[in-house]
Amino acid sequence: MELRLDGKVALVTGASRGIGRAIATELAASGARVMISSRKQDALDEAAKTMDGEVATFAANAGEPEQAAACVAACVEQLGGLDILVNNAATNPYGGPIMDIDLPRYDKTWQVNLRGPLVWTQEAFKAALHESGGSVINIASVGGYAIEHQIGVYNTTKAALIYLTRALASELAPAVRVNAIAPGLVKTDMARALWEPHEEAVAATMPLQRLGDPTDIASAALFLASDAASWITGHTLVVDGGLLVRG
C-alpha cells in the first residue's frame, strides 16, 4: 500500500533533527507541503536541504505560545493551509530522582512537553483545522507507560500527553483526528545517554533485537496522517520493538 498526502499541508515541530526530521522527510516525500520548525534557523535550513518536495522553515520555541501562533500563521500563509500537525518537540533538561528536581527544570519540561502540544493544537485549530478538518499527531513515549527512575518527570509529561491525546480526540471529533505515537528507545541525539556505548547489549533485551531508527517512527506518523487511518482517533500507537512486552 502506497500512502500519499498529495494536496495536504503539514507542520512538524522539533523537526531539525531526530524523529521530527525523519517525520518531516517522510511526509514531504509522500506529497505533503511541509513547514518544519525548531529553535535554530540554521539547523532548519540544513535539514530542509536534505528533504524532497516543498519544505518551508520557521524558527520557533515550541514552549512559547506567541512563537507557536506565529509559526502556524506563517504555515497557512506560505503553504496555503494546514491539515496535519505533528507535535514532536520535547525537552528533558533533568535526569535523576523526581524528588531532587528543581522547579525551573520541572516547569520547563511541562511547558514544552505538555503545554506546548496543547497550544500548538489550539493555534492550528483556530487557524485552519476548525474549517477543513485534519489530523494531529502527538509524539509521546513508552515511558508514559513505565517507571524509569532517571527520567520520571519526562515520563510523567508523556503519560499526560497520552491522556491529552484522548481528551482532544473526543473534543475535536469528527472533524479532527487526534492520535499519538509512543516510541521506544530510538537512536537519536536526545536519547544517546540511554543506549550509547552499550547499543548491542540494550538491543539484546528487546524482542526484535534492535534499537529503533527515526524512520520507524516516521512510517507510523505517515500512516496516522493518511486516509488509511481515517477511522482511527484517540489512539496511541506503540512503536517500540516489543519493549513493553517484557515490561
The tally of domains found in the chain comes to 1
Domain interval for residue 21: 9-235
User: Which positions ≥6 away from 126 have C-beta within 8 Å?
Assistant: none
Per-residue pLDDT tens for 80-119?
999 999 999 999 999 999 999 999 999 999 999 999 999 9
Question: Does residue 171 belong to any structural domain of this protein?
Answer: yes
> Does the annotation mark 94 as catalytic?
no
Q: Which of 106, 145, 154, 163 is catalytic?
A: 154
Per-residue pLDDT tens for 164-222?
999 999 999 999 999 999 999 998 877 777 667 788 888 888 899 999 999 999 999 99
Separation CA 130–CA 148 (nearest Å): 38
CATH number of the domain where residue 104 is located: 3.40.50.720
Question: Does residue 241 belong to any structural domain of this protein?
Answer: no
Average pLDDT over residues 26-48: 98
**Torsion-angle region of 167 (φ positive above 0: left; ψ -120 to 50: alpha; else: beta):** alpha
Question: Does residue 18 belong to any structural domain of this protein?
Answer: yes
